[in-house]
A = this chain, B = another copy of it.
C-alpha cells in the first residue's frame, strides 16, 4: 500500500486526499457522523436585482461575465436532458472563448453527448470532472488522461456534498425547459420538456451564482416553480437547450430476453412470497428492460390480488403512469421522468409528485424517502459472494457508468438485484468486485436465471420464503455453476497504481477508488 492510501472499513485501499482536499475513508454504514452546520450561499439584497423581476440578459456569455466567471471556478450543470443536453457543451465553448482555464465541471452526470468536452479537458479549459462519467468521458478518465481525480457520487451524495460544503459551486447553469424572466422554472412544459429539475435543486440553493438557460420563456409566474427564481441571478434565452429526441429515451422497453424475463418474474414472485406485496406497500424499479418487466409482473400480481400501492418511486415511464391512472398506486414519487408519458403525467396529474435528491436521497438529513421504500430493484455490473456490488466499472476495469440513485436506494427495506449470471460469457458473481459501490450488508437478495440468493443477514427473508417453491440457493453455489459454464472467473484487470476516480459513499466518505488501466 502506498503512503497516501489507507484501508477503509470495507477493506478497500482509498486515498486520504482527493484533488488537494482531505477525504475521510469509509467507516461503515451509518458510522460517520457529520459535525457543524450546513453550508450557505451569500446573502443577497433585492436592491441589487431588477424590481420588475426581469433578469433576462443578452446571452450566456453575458450571464457568465456577470457571474464573474474566472479561472479555477466550479461550474455545475444537471443531466435531466440525459444524452440530449446542448447546454454544457455550449457553456464550455464560451468559457474557452473567454480564455478561462482550469474549471472544475460538476455535473449531476455526463453522457456520451458530452464527448466534445474532451477537447476542453485536453486544452485546459476544464481541469477535471466531478460527477458521473458515462461512456466516452469515463473511458477518457480510465485511460489516465484527466488531470484531476474524478469523484463519483450518488444523487443523494451529490446533494450531501453541496449541502455540507464539501463542494462549493461558484456558478450553477441550469437548463430549464420553461422559465419566466424571474428565473422560476420547470421541466414539465415547453419543447424541451424533460419532467423534473430536481437534480439542479442543490445547485440553485447553494451556488454563489445561478444562471437559468431556457428555450421557452413564459410570463411570470412560471408554475410550478421546481427551481425558485429567488435563487436565480440571470436568465438566458436560447434557441434550443436540448434535443427532444434524446432527452427522454424512446426505447424504455421491456426486455425480450427469455432469461431476463425469467429473472424479472422471479423477482416479482420473491416480493410476493416475502410478504412485501400488500396493500399500502411501495416499490422502486429502474427503467431498464428487466426492471420494467419486473414492474409489469408486479402489476399483474397487484391486479390479481386487488392490491394497491401507497406510492411508487420513479424514474417514471409509461408503465408506472399506467399504474397510477389505473388506480394501482396512490402516488408516483418521481425523481426523473424517462419517457414522454412520465413528462405528461408529472405535468397533469397532481398525484404524480416531483421529488428531488434532498427529500429522496440526501443522507445528511433528518431521514429521507429511500429508507421508507418497501422494496427496490436495481442493477449491478458485478456482485461478490458477500453481496457487495459494483455499478461503475466493468470487470475489465473500465469506468463506464455513474452511480445515480443506486447507493441511496440500497437503504430500502428490501434491496434486490436481478442480474444475469453472466454477460458476454463473463460471470457477474465474483470473488471481489472490481469497484465497491454498495456494501453487501445493504444488499438483501440476488436474483439470477440460475437461482435466488438471500443475504444471510436477512434471516427474516430466508424464513418467509422458505416454502415458497422459489429456487433459493447459496450465492457461492450459483457462482460456481456460472463459472463452470463460462470456464472460470473473470480475468482480473491490470491496473496501474494511480487512482483516476474516487467512489464516495452517501455520507461523503471514500468507499473505493478506480485505478488507471494499464
Which residues on A are within 8 Å of B, measured CB to CB? Answer: 30-53, 55, 163-164, 182-183, 210, 219-221, 223, 225, 228-233, 280, 310-311, 331, 333, 350-351, 353, 358-359, 362-369, 371-372, 411, 413, 507
- Closest B residue by C-beta to A163: B43
Chain B residues with Cβ under 8 A from A55's Cβ?
367
Contact yes or no, A310 B45, CB < 8 A = no
A249 shortest CB reach to chain B, Å: 27
Interchain CA distance A411-B365 in the complex, whole Å: 36
Contact of A42 among B37, B231, B363 (CB under 8 A): B37
- Closest B residue by C-beta to A364: B43
- Given A223-B331, A223-B353, A311-B221, does the pair A365, B230 have CB atoms closer than 8 Å? yes
Contact yes or no, B43 A37, CB < 8 A = yes
Chain B residues with Cβ under 8 A from A310's Cβ?
219-221
| Sampled A-B contacts (18; CB under 8 Å) | A32-B45, A33-B48, A34-B45, A36-B43, A37-B42, A37-B43, A38-B40, A43-B164, A45-B363, A46-B363, A49-B367, A51-B367, A219-B280, A221-B311, A221-B369, A223-B331, A229-B359, A230-B362
Interchain CA distance A50-B280 in the complex, whole Å: 19
Contact yes or no, B219 A53, CB < 8 A = no
Most B Cβ at <10 Å: residue of A42, A49, A182, A367: A367
Interchain CA distance A232-B367 in the complex, whole Å: 9
Contact yes or no, A46 B228, CB < 8 A = no
A5 shortest CB reach to chain B, Å: 26
Contact yes or no, A43 B35, CB < 8 A = yes
9 closest Cβ pairs, A-B complex: A30-B47, A38-B40, A34-B43, A49-B367, A51-B371, A53-B372, A40-B40, A37-B40, A44-B366
Contact of A353 among B39, B41, B221, B331 (CB under 8 A): B221
Chain B residues with Cβ under 8 A from A47's Cβ?
30-31, 33
Contact of A367 among B35, B40, B46 (CB under 8 A): B46
Chain B residues with Cβ under 8 A from A280's Cβ?
219
A264 shortest CB reach to chain B, Å: 27
Contact yes or no, B45 A411, CB < 8 A = no
**Known contacts A32-B45, A55-B367; can you find 10 more A-B pairs with CB under 8 A?**
A35-B43, A38-B41, A38-B43, A46-B364, A46-B371, A220-B311, A223-B353, A230-B358, A230-B359, A233-B366
Chain B residues with Cβ under 8 A from A46's Cβ?
30, 363-368, 371, 411
Contact yes or no, A52 B372, CB < 8 A = yes
Interchain CA distance A367-B231 in the complex, whole Å: 9
A486 shortest CB reach to chain B, Å: 38
- Given A33-B45, A221-B311, A230-B358, does the pair A182, B367 have CB atoms closer than 8 Å? yes
Chain B residues with Cβ under 8 A from A42's Cβ?
36-38
- Closest B residue by C-beta to A311: B221
Contact yes or no, A367 B219, CB < 8 A = no
Interchain CA distance A513-B28 in the complex, whole Å: 56
Contact yes or no, A367 B230, CB < 8 A = yes
- Closest B residue by C-beta to A362: B230
- Closest B residue by C-beta to A229: B367
Chain B residues with Cβ under 8 A from A50's Cβ?
367
Chain B residues with Cβ under 8 A from A413's Cβ?
51-52
Interchain CA distance A359-B227 in the complex, whole Å: 11
A516 shortest CB reach to chain B, Å: 33
Interchain CA distance A55-B366 in the complex, whole Å: 10
- Closest B residue by C-beta to A506: B46
A232 shortest CB reach to chain B, Å: 6
Chain B residues with Cβ under 8 A from A164's Cβ?
43
Interchain CA distance A32-B182 in the complex, whole Å: 23
- Given A333-B221, A353-B223, does the pair A366, B34 have CB atoms closer than 8 Å? no
Chain B residues with Cβ under 8 A from A33's Cβ?
45, 47-48
A404 shortest CB reach to chain B, Å: 18
- Closest B residue by C-beta to A29: B47
Contact yes or no, A411 B367, CB < 8 A = no
A83 shortest CB reach to chain B, Å: 31
- Closest B residue by C-beta to A184: B359
Interchain CA distance A372-B50 in the complex, whole Å: 9
Interchain CA distance A340-B411 in the complex, whole Å: 41
Contact yes or no, B365 A44, CB < 8 A = yes
Most B Cβ at <10 Å: residue of A37, A55, A163, A333: A37
A21 shortest CB reach to chain B, Å: 17
- Closest B residue by C-beta to A38: B40
Most B Cβ at <10 Å: residue of A32, A233, A310, A366: A366
Most B Cβ at <10 Å: residue of A50, A368, A372: A372
A351 shortest CB reach to chain B, Å: 8
Interchain CA distance A165-B45 in the complex, whole Å: 15
Chain B residues with Cβ under 8 A from A182's Cβ?
367, 372
